[in-house]
Amino acid sequence: MRVATPNEKCVEIQGPTGRTYDFGKGIQNVHPRDARAIVAEGGFIPSALGTTRTGLGYRCTACGFGTWFSKCSRCGGHAAREVLH
């Protein structure tokens, strides 16, 4: 799973599995068990749409999560089609 750090100053994390991850660039692929622990400490799972706005896909109206579907896979809310202005 891809996970982002809870803080930009957090550059290395050792998960419950004993694996150590280098978060120098902020996002890292981690073991699912470690991902749950990092998210519990304030980290987050990055959006599938990334940080750029392409006008493709949907954006959840409740939590802002980017998705390819009209139902948010993070919170279950309604996701509206993104439109470029």
Q: Spell 9-18 as b/e; 16+ CB within 10 A means b.
A: eeeebebeee
Task: Locate 82 and state its tokens.
Answer: 């993104």
Residue 85 pLDDT class (50, 70, 90 cuts):
very low
Q: What pLDDT is stored for residue 52 in this prediction?
A: 52
pTM score > 0.75 for this model?
no
What residue segments make up the domains of the chain, in order of their start? Answer: 2-40, 47-85
Q: What pLDDT is stored for residue 83 in this prediction?
A: 64
DSSP string computed for 12-64: EEE-TTS-EEE-TTSEEE--HHHHHHHHHTT-BPPPTT-SS--S-SEEETTT-
Q: What pLDDT is stored for residue 48 in this prediction?
A: 65
Q: What pLDDT is stored for residue 55 in this prediction?
A: 57
Residue pLDDT, tens place only, 7-52: 778 888 899 999 999 888 888 899 999 999 999 988 888 876 555 5
Q: What pLDDT is stored for residue 19 in this prediction?
A: 93
